[in-house]
Structure 1
Amino acid sequence: MLRTYVWRSLPVIALSATLTTHALADEQHVADGDKADNKHLLHDTPLPDGHVPANVNYGFTVIGRDTLAGISSGLYTDVWAHDGYAYVGTFEEPTCDRSGVFISDIRDPSNPVKIGMIKSPPQTRVNDVKVTPVGDRDVLIFTLEPCGPLNGNSSKQLGQSGISLWDVTNPARPHAIKQNFLDFPVHNTFPWTTANGETYLLVVDDVNINDLHIVDMTKPQSPKLITTTGIGTWLDTNPEIANDEQLFMGTFAAPLLHDVWVNDMDPGPGENWQAVLPYWDAGFITLDVNDPYNPVFLGDSTYPDPDPVHGISPPEGNAHAAVFGGPNFDKIFAGDEDFDSLFTAVITGSDSYPASQGSDVPQIGPGADIEVLEAQTAFVGQACGGSLTPAADVGAGIALVERGGCTFSLKAQTAEAAGYDAVVVFNSDAPGNCDASVSMLVEAGIPALFVPRSSGFAILGIDGYDPEQCPGGTNPDLPAADTLGQFATLGAVFDGWGYLHTLNNTSTRVTVPLGMGGDTVTVDYLGEMGYYAPAEVTNPALAAGAGDLTMHNLEIDPTNPDRTFISWYSLGMRAVEWRPGHLHSNSNGEGVVSWNMHEVGRFIAGEEYGEAAGSNFWGVHVTEIDGEQYILGTDRNTGLWIFQWSCEDATDVLYCNGPVTP
């Protein structure tokens, strides 16, 4: 058999136009092991484990903690606070165990106390939580997403969808107002109340292409869905979006809506409601929502190419969360959530085909189980059990398998039993599949990769395949089983983790300094005018084994809107300020890579916290209690943390208060 294992660096992989034919879909409910919910697949990547140890903590002071239900790996998600109480959502994977929403009394921040829990419906997870006053009631809004198994042979998971509204005017005795409103899974929401006392809610839909909805919840007992829009609409009506070549980029290629935020942009007595929408590879979109029945598209950002931090081309994308910041909201602090620090591809000669790696199989890439695998490929059909011709007799080491007929696990295990060292599954020609990429839930003892159907034909060396002719059309037929394809390399290169961007949110062009040398750059509306990444985000040695090193959520500091607090998973809590002219390359060991943004605080739990050593912060929220400001953080494993931030005791650490040498 022609196969070798080599340990070397792959060349930089050019991400070609093969990504532009991915399906515009946020979910695919398929019983073969396709991950049903792509938004939450992001939290199930197989490589990261362990955590980053505490190095230098400063700025943040731990005031109090509430372990809620006790240490539970990966359980806790978003956090919100209102009137001295904190509300914490839960991820509920993989058990889907009805964890629901935890409520903690934080009126004494040094001694928070859990006072209750609202269970989620069976087979349903609660992820996002918000609380807002509506009339004389305080209303808790939480999202519902099914997380149970597929319902028999249907395409639906067991569990409930939509949102639920609860009265938490008395947080110790919450009661339901309206449950299971809306008939699609909801990932995130954001409420706002106008001067006329009307309360509206942005709703993020997990399923549909038009995935942004607006609900009138002025009467929370009878909310009304009033508007449906989204990227499907804007593709038809805005050339700026329709001509954007960055709709599909990187390992997780999709234009899907994630978290949302709404602000009144008028600091005076008037109103000017705008929303910022992180649309994954489509970038960050702004929307005028002054008339919730007729929201107006304002613009979208474009990722710099090549990526200024990681140097890859095209960039990864993955716009996940954003908030308006700066004086008069002249900036947007915007974060990417890139859980996969490796870009995986199948390489044949000078051509490369982007691939996604399966879940519970040996991984390929720097620091993974196998760095690079090289072997002859052969088409083996659908590989749904039974006996394949032994790989040694075929003369190949990589099995090319067509999707369909059985689970991904059975395909990989069948190829493994026949002696293959890896399996590459390419998509079927069923409607909605063809050149879409999916992420496989698969268990086997060999690596398993997935590629679009056009990539499968190219790896086989078959010319004349046209993605536009699938399904149907005049595409070539697949060859007989045991037909040899091309010699291939399965490998991955480090392309970094997600980090923070600062965007220009003014209607005019602005000039910003490139550094202390006097050079400047002109930045258009929603153009990039700064970035910040902890140095670990750029370190290939931390591609695996140090936890998730991407940023997640963020909020501005109300006392200084040029400062933002960020929950950064295994890199803990971060505080970052806009400071034009500063540039860090980490060449002097600053611990960051940044332009016009400066770190002024970090916290990673140290060994003094025992079982809670190491961090994995999902949520962040700024609140006020008795006139004092506090920053709440939810660690996925250890629950609610309460911080205060100050630079007063950190003047000698990373120039928190002093001048910065670029």
Structure 2
Amino acid sequence: MSGVGIADPQPPTPAPSLKSEVRDPEIAGHDDQHGANDGHLPATQKNVQLVAKLDMSGATGEDRAGHIADVAVFGNYAYLAARRLNTTPCGPGGFYTVDVSKPDAPKELSFTAFPNGSYPGEGMQVIRVKTASFKGDILVTNNEICSDAPEAVGGMSIYNVTDPRNIIPLAIGKGDFNDGTQPVANDEHSVFAWQAGERVFAMMSDDLEQSVGDVDIMEITDPANPVLIAETSIADWPAAEVGANGQTVFLHDMVVKRIRGHWIGLLSYWDAGWVILNLDDPANPVFVTDSRYPDPEKLLGFTPPEGNGHQAEWTNDNRFIVGTDEDFSPVRTAFQVTDGPNAGTYGAGEFDWTVPISTLPGQTFQGAKTVWGGSGCVEDTDGNGVSDRAEVPAKAASGADTVVFLRGVCFFSNKVESGQLAGYDKVIIVQSHVATSNGRFADGFFCGAQGHDFTITASAICIGHRAGHLLFGDTPEYTSPSAADMPALGTLGAGVRATTTFDGWGTVHLLDARTLREIDNYAIKEGLDPAFASGFGALSVHEVATDPERSDLAYLSYYAGGIRVIKVSSRGIREAGRYIGTDGNDFWGVEAKQIKNKTYIFGSDRDSGLWIFRYTGG
């Protein structure tokens, strides 16, 4: 669907093909920091005081790992997003409400359940609204769909939380319905709301229209009747530069703020970095500029730089931007087509949840011959009445030792499992059409997360769409609405070879807010050490919250790296505080809010619940 004032991208947009897959690595569990002493980093504490810890009622026991997602704090209340339980993959999602009026004694008040098969992620937010249609506090949250249950919804939902002890739903599952052609709105990964004068708006990240129409803007002046008013994306921003490893581009997170008389959007756009939009007229967003990742990287010297712009905030004085890049795979993949007319080197990545290439003989992913396996999904995508999984050519009869699938329709992990069931221990997944932005990012690749539990015995890599065609001696094509341009099932392709090199976990970037020039790049020391590549949990940064009063302080949720406090200035980034609990942590969200004139740090631990801290440094 084209929004008001947004031209249709050319050539024509392909039908979305990312339905039901896990796009974001953070969706899967990374819980090996909990358990034995050798499964997490040692406990540490500096200039950070633990004020209180509250386990959510549904986040206890081994089967609840990864249950908690983001945290939002408004007034005397905190709201924790809750994803589905591992034991019941498609529910229940929703959010917890916690009274934090006494930060040293928080109290869980309630759980608000979403429709079955729907669950929140990040960017959950509460704002105070005053319009002709509504006066009070609203909570906005995204909806991602975990199943095809009839009651599952996508889009965004809005709740009246003026009285947090009596939460009232106002709008459920509102978003992009593709001009009304589908009964359920597209999945959204994040949402941010703001009031501009007499009107209220929300921006969302559309999971299903990656790089083509993935910025959805809704008017929510009447929160009970949200209206989609605009869609845009990098397809509308020809000046946006993408120079990072993988060339994967999609809106991940956003904040909107009034700065020097203008409403400005700060979009975390993965390998395009951080994008600035003018939102004075939200129905007609205007691209202003985007950041550039220094090449080579400052910390480990890799080229091209990693990218992965995940989330960002302005400092209190709007002088700096602190941005996080999320990287769950601490290795870089070198991939070759080893024979045939298109032999050569192409971009690729390794899935961080399959059998590591570093453990294979010769530390090499080696395939003498590849075979095209279609979608690899349980679904029947070609409509011939047979599951695509059942049509995957068996290794014993194919003449190949490596199977190749096309991204889309189902989880990446479903495809890997299909390969295993057909006898393969090496799997390649080719980038989809929609994620190439109609060929603009023909070499872009993305290795997503594990979407379901199964016994993993295969190694797997992801490659770009162009390389997927060339592997089979085929002419690359990017705009058809399906996989019809790919080789026929059972077609044999060239041999392949891949190796990996440690390139670190996700890091933190400090930008000049006016120029978007990168001032500094920071990581915890373990995130740059190959000795911590596995066995210590995910050592990537996730989110940042800047201090509500001090312009030099920011707080980081660092997954298994705990809560980190940094000081920022024109000279760069300096770590000023840290906290990791005795049994390890797995922090997803972080917020910094004042209660009774004191600033508290609120962290959401994915395996337990709410942790409240105070920074005690100078």
Task: Provide the TM-score with structure 2 as the length reference.
Answer: 0.79
Other-structure match for 2:191: 189
Seen in structure 2, the aligned counterparts of structure 1 residues 371 and 342 have a Cα distance that, compared at 3 Å, is: farther
Alpha-carbon contact 1:84-1:107 (below 8 Å) kept = yes
Alpha-carbon contact 1:384-1:414 (below 8 Å) kept = no
User: Would you say 1:273 and 2:263 are equivalent positions?
Assistant: yes
Secondary structure of 1:634's partner?
strand
Other-structure match for 1:547: 537
Q: Per-residue deviation at 1:214?
A: 2.6
Query: Which of 81, 94, 98 matches 2:92?
Result: 98
User: Would you say 1:597 and 2:609 are equivalent positions?
Assistant: no
User: Would you say 1:646 and 2:616 are equivalent positions?
Assistant: yes
Secondary structure of 2:21's partner?
coil
Query: Which of 461, 468, 473 matches 1:449?
Result: 461
Other-structure match for 2:78: 86
Structure 1: distance between partners of 2:101 and 2:15 = 40
Seen in structure 2, the aligned counterparts of structure 1 residues 431 and 306 have a Cα distance that, compared at 3 Å, is: closer
User: Would you say 1:422 and 2:426 are equivalent positions?
Assistant: yes
Of stretches 91-100 and 550-559 in structure 1, the one that deviates more from structure 2 is: 91-100
Other-structure match for 1:175: 168
User: Would you say 1:291 and 2:292 are equivalent positions?
Assistant: no
Other-structure match for 1:207: 208
Q: Per-residue deviation at 1:540?
A: 1.3
Alpha-carbon contact 1:256-1:279 (below 8 Å) kept = yes
1:553-568 equivalence runs, <5 A: 553-568=543-558
Other-structure match for 2:512: 504
Alpha-carbon contact 1:409-1:443 (below 8 Å) kept = no
User: Would you say 1:466 and 2:475 are equivalent positions?
Assistant: yes
Q: Per-residue deviation at 1:295?
A: 2.7
Q: Per-residue deviation at 1:622?
A: 1.2
Letter in 2 for 1:38: R
Query: Which of 397, 404, 420 matches 1:413?
Result: 420
User: Would you say 1:634 and 2:570 are equivalent positions?
Assistant: no
Other-structure match for 2:101: 107
Structure 2: distance between partners of 1:38 and 1:603 = 30
Q: Per-residue deviation at 1:320?
A: 0.7
Seen in structure 2, the aligned counterparts of structure 1 residues 36 and 27 have a Cα distance that, compared at 3 Å, is: farther
Structure 1: distance between partners of 2:15 and 2:528 = 29
Unpaired stretches in structure 2, ≥5 consecutive residues: 1-11, 176-184, 374-389
Secondary structure of 2:467's partner?
helix
Seen in structure 2, the aligned counterparts of structure 1 residues 482 and 173 have a Cα distance that, compared at 3 Å, is: closer
Alpha-carbon contact 1:98-1:125 (below 8 Å) kept = yes
Seen in structure 2, the aligned counterparts of structure 1 residues 431 and 27 have a Cα distance that, compared at 3 Å, is: closer
Structure 1: distance between partners of 2:114 and 2:432 = 36
Alpha-carbon contact 2:207-2:214 (below 8 Å) kept = yes
Other-structure match for 1:220: 223
Q: Per-residue deviation at 1:443?
A: 5.6
Other-structure match for 1:340: 329
1:17-56 equivalence runs, <5 A: 28-29=17-18, 36-39=21-24, 41-44=25-28, 51-56=39-44
Larger Rg: 1
Alpha-carbon contact 2:337-2:497 (below 8 Å) kept = yes
Structure 2: distance between partners of 1:471 and 1:375 = 31
Letter in 2 for 1:231: I
Structure 1: distance between partners of 2:456 and 2:44 = 41
Q: Per-residue deviation at 1:635?
A: 0.6
Aligned residues: 547
Q: Per-residue deviation at 1:467?
A: 1.7
Alpha-carbon contact 1:343-1:493 (below 8 Å) kept = yes
Seen in structure 2, the aligned counterparts of structure 1 residues 26 and 603 have a Cα distance that, compared at 3 Å, is: farther
Other-structure match for 2:5: none
Seen in structure 2, the aligned counterparts of structure 1 residues 556 and 27 have a Cα distance that, compared at 3 Å, is: farther
What's the CA shift string for 1:167-215, capped at 9, x where partnerless?
1111111111222222222221222223x34322222222222222332
Letter in 1 for 2:364: L
1:89-488 equivalence runs, <5 A: 89-92=81-84, 94=86, 95-128=89-122, 129-135=124-130, 136-148=135-147, 150=148, 159-182=152-175, 183-194=185-196, 196-208=197-209, 209-235=212-238, 240-241=239-240, 244-246=241-243, 249-251=244-246, 253-266=247-260, 271-325=261-315, 327=317, 329-348=318-337, 351-357=344-350, 361-365=354-358, 372-373=363-364, 375=366, 377-380=368-371, 382=373, 384=391, 388-389=395-396, 398-401=401-404, 408-409=415-416, 411-413=418-420, 416=423, 422-424=426-428, 437=445, 439=447, 445-452=457-464, 454-456=466-468, 462=473, 465-468=474-477, 485-486=494-495, 488=496
Secondary structure of 2:589's partner?
strand
Q: Per-residue deviation at 1:90?
A: 1.8
Q: Per-residue deviation at 1:64?
A: 1.1
Across the aligned residues of Structure 1 and Structure 2, the Cα RMSD in angstroms comes to 3.6
Structure 1: distance between partners of 2:264 and 2:371 = 54
Q: Per-residue deviation at 1:257?
A: 0.4
Task: Provide the TM-score with structure 1 as the length reference.
Answer: 0.74
Structure 1: distance between partners of 2:269 and 2:14 = 13
Seen in structure 2, the aligned counterparts of structure 1 residues 275 and 483 have a Cα distance that, compared at 3 Å, is: closer
Seen in structure 2, the aligned counterparts of structure 1 residues 484 and 184 have a Cα distance that, compared at 3 Å, is: closer
Q: Per-residue deviation at 1:82?
A: 1.4
Structure 1: distance between partners of 2:315 and 2:15 = 29
Q: Per-residue deviation at 1:347?
A: 3.1
Structure 1: distance between partners of 2:567 and 2:352 = 37
Query: Which of 23, 26, 48 matches 1:60?
Result: 48
Letter in 1 for 2:75: D
Q: Per-residue deviation at 1:429?
A: 9.7
What's the CA shift string for 1:502-552, capped at 9, x where partnerless?
11122xxxxxxxxxxxxxxxxxx1111122111111111212211111111
Aligned-pair identity in percent equals 26
Seen in structure 2, the aligned counterparts of structure 1 residues 493 and 103 have a Cα distance that, compared at 3 Å, is: same
Seen in structure 2, the aligned counterparts of structure 1 residues 105 and 458 have a Cα distance that, compared at 3 Å, is: same
